[in-house]
Structure 1
Amino acid sequence: GAAVRAAVPERANRGGLRVRGQLRGRRRHGAGPGLLSGERGAHGRPHAPWRRDEMVPRPARSALPRRPDCMGMMNQSLFLVGEIGGNDYNIPLLSRVPFEKIRTFTPSVVAKISSTVTVHLQELIGLGAKTLVVPGNLPIGCVPNYLMIFKSDKKEDYEPETGCLRWMNEFSKYHNRLLIDELEKLRKLHPGVSIIYADYYGAAMEIYRSPEQFGIDHPLAACCGGGGPYGVSMTARCGYGEYKVCDDPQKYGSWDGFHPSEAAYKGIAIGLLRGTYTQPSISTTISSCPQLTELGSSVEYKVLYDL
């Protein structure tokens, strides 16, 4: 990770993949850039075209040749490709596009993720990369804004152990199953590269099932927002209107009603580094990344929370 930070200039933050910010754990606005091409996505809403020429490989190529150890640095680095495609779901959901229609274009979103990973994979392999991590979808049924917008009087619409919306989480799992299948195809095409699936869903659900283990008191509420049971409202959102900010963000599962809090991200990182929620296990596939191997083999909750 440190190697990539040294090699990729800050301008690489423009465009769909913000590798430097991802590796430093910096929270960005947006929930994963949209993938569906053209001025309108499959859901029929305006869609910003995704410019490949602004993504990571171009600035990476321009920076690496100036370093004599670039090949060694690249094959000892771990590349996080994603999370991608979130806005292909967020935009239609917020626009109240019928859920049945959203489900129909999920295969197209996943196919685009696969093709995007392939584009970067070819370039990164040429630069010496050996290990890529591709994250799946988070449990969107636990997102405070969606819990507010799609509030239901039906008890069966909610998961009893978490309070999350069952049907939305089922959709996240559907997306992730399709993505896992696509990554398996990519592994067969590139046997010399470790392509790791990061199960963000499973790692995050650990937090929603047992928030007290992560020091979180309000797993389904936003720290910054408009109040209410989920910390969000239709009249005020984080940074706009008469919004409120909590006293202790570490006690909340969400920062602004859409993005996980730092406390939640740390909990997710624990599951990933231990290898519990990576396929194949990150602990057995990152021998070329000694810092991560050491951290993953001895990680404890307190260690990560002190980072």
Structure 2
Amino acid sequence: MKAMELVGEKWIEIVTCLVISTTLMRSVSGSESECIFPAIFNLGDSNSDTGGLSAAFGQAPPPNGITYFHSPNGRFSDGRLIIDFIAESSGLAYLRAYLDSVASNFTHGANFATAGSTVRPQNTTISQSGYSPISLDVQFVQFSDFKTRSKLVRQQGGVFKELLPKEEYFSQALYTFDIGQNDLTAGYKLNFTTEQVKAYIPDVLGQFSNVIKGVYGEGGRSFWIHNTGPLGCLPYMLDRYPMKPTQMDEFGCAKPFNEVAQYFNRKLKEVVEQLRKELPGAAITYVDVYTVKYTLISHAQKYGFEQGVIACCGHGGKYNFNNTERCGATKRVNGTEIVIANSCKDPSVRIIWDGIHYTEAANKWIFQQIVNGSFSDPPHSLKRACYGKSIRRHKFQLL
């Protein structure tokens, strides 16, 4: 009798374990399917600036914005940026710039990026070098202050309560980063050699790492980090630093500049791996936009584009780019102000917008390649960016 009772108890225990295991498995696999990000907070440079520099130093001039917004909208492009498509796919409104006080709603996030931003603070003014004084460390300070003040304002109530994120959004949000390109060009502007530029990259990435840790300390857990693009394929580098024929690849890109960008990206990936060890609660996705951008430029016609390294909006020169007469530049002729650096006829078939940034069509194509995780480490789609690299190992340990 006792033996039968023991068997019965053992059987109940086995069944209970199976039920619990099955429930856990369904719960985990269900939670894997999609992350719900109630907000996005972005830090970066002009590749993701939705109005920060314009709010601080004057609007990006027309014809910027002509394709989608039909007028200047703070973006250095004819239309939307990758960060805009990220917001769209998450069901959120386009991010308003933190510095833009006009009609801004930050309920579902904020954008701290400004064009010309670097990771390391620059020892020059924006008028001297073109680099923004709002470096990544300053953006983090702005974010931290925004988080603190948002909580206080919401507690006080009133009209502004509805324009700021809920407190829990800061831990549930997606944190996106796209910065580093200007740190590389800063060295070349000082006549550094490629080896000298490479030498200071560890310091740049050390400061980048500190900001990620800072955001983590503020409660951020989901990070989506873009590496830097093919610097040697941008007209503003090709025009300013002419290369020997042997230094150019078959697609018209400067190999030395692309090599330093690739070196930066390798070191960035190492930093990300280290951050995963130091921040076990973080889900950090490294996104290889370099490969996607270079593939598009080097196979432009295959993907329905034209003239990979020629700017759409510009004036003169081999690349339709003049550093002193950039996109939107005007000139007074017989008392009338005319635009001398205007848009090409059809931006939708061009990749490079103004010699530095990409067209909306290119940004959309790039987003479509990265959104499913094909160029990510770990290979999670954007909708699963809240999961860490070792999610499957954790799942099996749980069961």
Q: Deviations over 1:262-301 (max 9, x none)?
A: 1221122122112111111122871769xxxxxxxxxxxx
2:142 is the counterpart of 1:55:
yes
Cα distance between partner residues in 2 of 1:123 and 1:12 = 24
The alpha carbon displacement at 1:142 in A equals: 0.6
1:104-115 maps to which residues of 2 (within 5 A)?
A: 104-115=199-210
2:232 is the counterpart of 1:141:
yes
Instruction: Give the number of the structure with larger relative contact order, counting CA–CA contacts within 8 Å between residues 6 or more apart.
Output: 2
Cα distance between partner residues in 2 of 1:153 and 1:23 = 36
1:133-282 maps to which residues of 2 (within 5 A)?
A: 133-154=224-245, 156-160=246-250, 162-241=251-330, 242-282=340-380
Aligned Cα root-mean-square deviation (Å)? 3.7
The alpha carbon displacement at 1:123 in A equals: 0.8
SS in 2 for 1:224: coil
Asked if the contact 1:224/1:256 (under 8 Å) is kept, the reply is yes
Q: Deviations over 1:108-159 (max 9, x none)?
A: 111111111111122133xxxx3111111111011011122223342x3122
Question: Which structure has the bigger radius of gyration?
Answer: 2
Cα distance between partner residues in 2 of 1:252 and 1:13 = 25
Q: 1:193 to 1:49 in 2, by over 3 A?
A: closer
SS in 2 for 1:79: strand
The alpha carbon displacement at 1:246 in A equals: 0.7
Structure 1, unaligned runs of 5 or more? 290-307
Cα distance between partner residues in 2 of 1:103 and 1:230 = 27
Asked if the contact 2:209/2:271 (under 8 Å) is kept, the reply is yes
2:117 is the counterpart of 1:24:
no
Structure 2, unaligned runs of 5 or more? 1-35, 42-49, 56-73, 75-80, 86-93, 96-112, 155-160, 331-339, 388-399
Q: Deviations over 1:20-62 (max 9, x none)?
A: x97435798625x122247369xxx898374356522321343
1:88-99 maps to which residues of 2 (within 5 A)?
A: 88-99=183-194
Q: Bigger shift: 198-207 or 64-73? A: 64-73
TM-score in terms of structure 2 length:
0.59
Cα distance between partner residues in 1 of 2:235 and 2:267 = 25
SS in 1 for 2:209: helix
Q: Deviations over 1:53-109 (max 9, x none)?
A: 6522321343367489946645553220x2123322223323433333222211111
Q: 1:215 to 1:72 in 2, by over 3 A?
A: farther
- Letter aligned with residue 58 of structure 1: D
Which residue does the alignment assign to 1:35?
A: 119
| Alignment match of 1:4 (pick from 39, 52, 65) | 39
Q: Bigger shift: 83-92 or 182-191? A: 83-92
TM-score in terms of structure 1 length:
0.74
Cα distance between partner residues in 1 of 2:235 and 2:145 = 37
Q: 1:133 to 1:37 in 2, by over 3 A?
A: same
